[in-house]
Amino acid sequence: MTQVLSNFIKALRASDVRVSTAESIDAAAALALVGFEHRTLIKEALGQVLAKTPDDKSRFNDCFERFFTFEDLAGDSAPGDEQATGDDQREGAPGEDGGQGGSGGGGDGGLAAMLERGDGPALQQALASAARNVQLQNIRLFTQRGMYIRRILEDMGIEPLDDLLFALLKANDDDPRALRLKEQKARLVENVAGLVDRQMLMYTANAWPKLREEVLQKTPLARIEIRDFKVMQELVRKLAKRLVSLHSRRRHVSKRGQLDVRHTIRKNIEYDGLLFDTVWKRVRVDRPKVIAVCDVSGSVAQVARFLLLFLYSVAEVLPKVRAFAFSSHLGEVTGLFESKPVEDAVVETINTYGMGSTDYGGALAELERLTLADIDQRTTVIILGDARSNYGDAGERSLRRIHERARRVLWLNPEPMAFWNSGDSEMQKLGAACDKVESCRTLKHLERVVSEIARTAI
């Protein structure tokens, strides 16, 4: 039974339910407690031990239903009324450990006899043990489907059956026994294929999305296609959630206070040194102000889209974000993001500001005019752009003035570093007025940048 349980847990993990080793031990203990007879009882018990969020619960239910399905292998040919007992009958579940015999878990008559008897339970068992012998749980790709079907059939003893069929048909072209057997064999093959398909679905259901997410994280954002946007947004949200939980914890800590002896004494001088009014040490919760300035022209727009999505998804740790967008002229889009769902706001921003040739000189001057009064030593300015100013003014003087007042200025360039300073790129001039210049092409880069900003929130 442990084998079955560990396979089930494997299937659970494949469908994105996190199961720790300790929990699998608990599951085994719970299973030993409730027994294997009552399906609903097992389901309740395992559900409480293994699935611990509402999401997990629904995934667990799906997985349980799929994993513990059996169908009547005997089919309708002979509804097992004639006492369907194999040599040793076990319960309907995919068997306990044992029956390790190389070929055919069935009785002495082998597969043919089982089929002819219409012995559903024995067939079911033979199938389960064959599946175990060929380690069906390791199936990963749909191209392996045929191979596994063949292996299971071989393990169940299809070869002697074929030989028998061949011999029968050779003797008599339409021997009724042979014909019936042939039909039953076809049904068996179909059942095996069904089993393999189900298993494949179960163990690989989540492998694809996972792989896709992994690849997407490393794909340059500019090259991501429209059809992947949904997945990307989901992904951004996931990453943002992780960042929030990572950084909000630290803020909790900083809320606590300790007696500040120095300040207490100083403050109580007026009471003749009696420590009357206590002062507590507080770690100041430094909520950073973030000003995000995004070039939304052409290929940079894609990266800007996800940066904005990111910044507004971590609103819990970064409560004060002002966003600006520009190509030919610059404007503030903060209000847009506050009034609309992030996705819609992003699209509208790009539609409004995205049409035009980039003018860094004008944009940075405008930014200076709009925000300089608001920038202080807590402000982080993030500028996202390729610094390609169409041979116009780069605006580095404005940027330098912003830099002088801000806590720091980050420049994120979606181009690979090798392309910087080529053609009309003004990276060298503008980069000199920044604290940090980074190439930021993929979601992974973005995550790192946002995480770093959030870290200084403490």
Identity of the residue, 42 or 130, whose beta carbon is nearer to other proteins in the bound complex? 42
CB nearer other proteins, residue 36 or residue 229:
36
Binding segment (CB under 8 A) for other proteins, from list 46-54, 208-216, 330-338, 356-364: 46-54
| Contact call for residue 61 and other proteins (CB under 8 A) | no
Residue length, the chain?
458
**Binding string, 96-125, against other proteins, x = CB under 8 A?**
x-----------------------------
Window contacting other proteins (CB under 8 A); options: 50-58, 157-165, 325-333, 417-425: 50-58
Nearer to other proteins (CB atom), residue 1 or residue 164: 1
Does position 240 interact with other proteins (CB under 8 A)? The reply is no
Determine the distance from the C-alpha atom of residue 372 to the mean position of all C-alpha atoms in its chain, rounded to a whole number.
40
Q: Which residues of 372-407 are buried (b: 16+ CB within 10 A; e: fewer)?
A: eeebeeebbbbbbbbbbbeeebbbbebbbbbbebbb
Q: Are 165 and 185 contacting, i.e. CB atoms less than 8 angstroms apart?
A: yes
Residue 316 binding other proteins, by CB under 8 A: no
Beta-carbon neighbour count of residue 102 at 10 Å? 8
The span of 48-56, 102-110, 207-215, 422-430 binding other proteins (CB under 8 A) equals 48-56
Which range, of 44-52, 70-78, 212-220, 408-416, touches other proteins by CB under 8 A?
44-52
Q: Which residues contact 126 (CB under 8 A, 6 or more apart)?
A: 104, 105, 106, 111, 114, 156
Calpha distance 343→340 (Å, rounded): 8
Does 245 help bind other proteins (rule: CB under 8 A)?
yes
Which positions from 68 through 97 interact with other proteins, judged by CB under 8 A? 96
User: Does residue 258 belong to the site contacting other proteins (CB under 8 A)?
Assistant: no
| Beta-sheet pairing, 379-384 with 289-295 | parallel
Beta strands in 175-302 (DSSP E): 257-259, 280-282, 289-295
Which position has the token pair 């946002």? Answer: 450
Shortest distance (Å) from residue 42 CB to other proteins: 10
Decide: 89 and 117 in contact? Cβ < 8 Å. no
Stretch of residues binding other proteins (CB under 8 A), selected from 35-43, 259-267, 372-380, 416-424: 35-43
Rounded CA-CA distance 325/311 in Å is: 14
Please report how close the Cβ of residue 90 comes to other proteins at its closest, in angstroms: 10
Can residue 283 be called a binding residue for other proteins (CB under 8 A)?
Answer: no
Tokens of 96: 């306990």
| 317 lines the binding site for other proteins (CB under 8 A) | no
Burial status of residue 310 (CB atoms within 10 A of its CB: 0-12, 13-18, 19 or more): buried
When asked if residue 428 is in the footprint of other proteins (CB under 8 A), the reply is no
Q: Which is nearer to other proteins, 35 or 79 (CB)?
A: 35
For residue 291, the cross-strand partners are: 322, 381
* One of 11, 14, 31, 128 touching other proteins (CB under 8 A): 31
Which residues of this chain interact with other proteins, rule CB under 8 A?
1-2, 18, 20, 22-23, 26, 28-38, 40-41, 44-45, 47-49, 51-54, 57, 96, 245, 249, 252
